[in-house]
Amino acid sequence: MLKAVKVRLYPSNEQCSIIADQIDAARYVYNRSLALRKFAYTKFGIKVGKFDLQKRVVTLKDREKTAWLKKADSQVLQQSISNMDKAYQHFFKGGGYPKFKSKHHSCQSIQYPQRVKIENSKIYLPKVGWVKCKGLREDVVGKIKTVTVSREANLYHAAILLDDGVNTLPVCTSTEAIGIDVGVSLVAADSNGGQIKPLDLVRELTKLRLRAQQLSRKSKGSKNRAKAKSRLAKQNLRIANMRKDFLHKLSLQYAENQGIVVVEDLKIKNMTKSAKGTEEKPGKNVKQKQGLNRSITQQSWGLFFELLEYKVIARGGRFIKVDPQHTSQTCNVCGHVSKENRLKQEKFVCKACGHKDNADVNAAKNIRDRGIHGSNASHQTAA
């Protein structure tokens, strides 16, 4: 079973510059190979294969102009071409066309396919040497598949992909189903009545605004501006990591305890597009939808569902997406559908039978039932 471990690296100044050289070299061969492949195809209809591109790197190193590529580990360069090739395969399967890598992208990385060693809180990277690191636990054992070294906001990390030799995760034995409603006022409500409050980021977001303000006050080209910029980037990264961590934990909690997890098929992207409407037909409730969109982006429901699906299936469970229509207006007890059932954001009172519930919990129960009865399931995956 593949397992990823992320650790913080503390390279010396000298090591930083070797990593920087390798990042430049890897990006260079990536872009050059991509350009060649594009050119050969559009101009002559020739497809240049991965191995031909990898062989070309050797020739490039022998040329005076590109001899600087020798500063990089040769496998890092080969891997860069492999990754470009993978981006191409992804494109053939319907993904976007591979993009050129920009020098100005906030996160830069290189990948080692082999020959990386780990020893008491140190990691050996070819060409760079032994680098100090934090976060390496003793249970990090197994065969190293790849190590991705990244630099973002002047922080260095290594993402280590390991094969731990264990074949499966403990199977979740529960056959109980749960529905999860992702709402606006709450992060998530489930059909068991569980309500999970959003991650409180007020302090972090205030700090982010402060950092942005500080940056805007520094004069262009100054050293202090560079410092302020790096502080702002660090804060952005911190918030993104807190969100990711939160969603990982939340999805794991459901995956470990529930055999069947049902969510709405939100088609989040389409919702985002339709909010503004067209010129002739301005969207209804634009303001309300924009608020909802902001909230969706903030909580990253897309990522949450992805993590959830992956974790549920890895434990032998079933993950079901159902049609979201009227889930919030339907009474879970008698089935009566009415807009008036929902009094306020959080209160549900059925006009027909008088059933009262938290609105999001009522919706979560409808979602669960649609998943179990299957009639409304629009998409499902199972192990």
Residue with smaller CB distance to Zn ion, 299 or 362: 362
Task: Assess whether 204 carries a catalytic annotation.
Answer: no
Residue with smaller CB distance to Zn ion, 268 or 337: 337
Say how many C-beta atoms besides its own lie within 10 A of residue 203's C-beta: 8
Residue with smaller CB distance to Zn ion, 246 or 348: 348
Residues 6+ apart with CB under 8 A from 176: 258, 259, 260
Residues 6+ apart with CB under 8 A from 137: 5
CB of 216 to Zn ion, least distance (A): 54
Q: Please give the residue ranges that form the binding site for Zn ion (CB under 5 A).
A: 331, 333-334, 336, 350, 352-353, 355
CB of 338 to Zn ion, least distance (A): 9
- Would you say the C-alpha torsion 215, 212, 233, 95 has a positive or negative sign? negative
The span from the CA of 145 to the CA of 150, in Å, is: 16
Task: Assess whether 181 carries a catalytic annotation.
Answer: yes
Q: Which two tokens stand for residue 145?
A: 């598949």
Residue of 73, 85, 190, 264 marked active site: 264
Selection from 291, 288, 286, 266 nearest residue 276 by Cα:
286
CB of 332 to Zn ion, least distance (A): 8
Burial grade of 292 (CB within 10 A; 0-12, 13-18, 19 or more):
middle
Residue of 73, 190, 357, 360 marked active site: 360
Measured in whole angstroms, the distance separating CA 8 from the mean position of its chain's CA atoms is: 19
The span from the CA of 25 to the CA of 31, in Å, is: 10
* SS3 state at 162: strand
Residue with smaller CB distance to Zn ion, 122 or 336: 336
Residue of 181, 309, 357, 369 marked active site: 181
Residue with smaller CB distance to Zn ion, 250 or 331: 331
The span from the CA of 109 to the CA of 348, in Å, is: 50
CB of 371 to Zn ion, least distance (A): 20
CB of 341 to Zn ion, least distance (A): 8
Q: Which two tokens stand for residue 151?
A: 């630099």
Report yes or no: 257 and 172 within 8 Å, Cβ to Cβ.
yes
Active site residues: 181, 264, 360
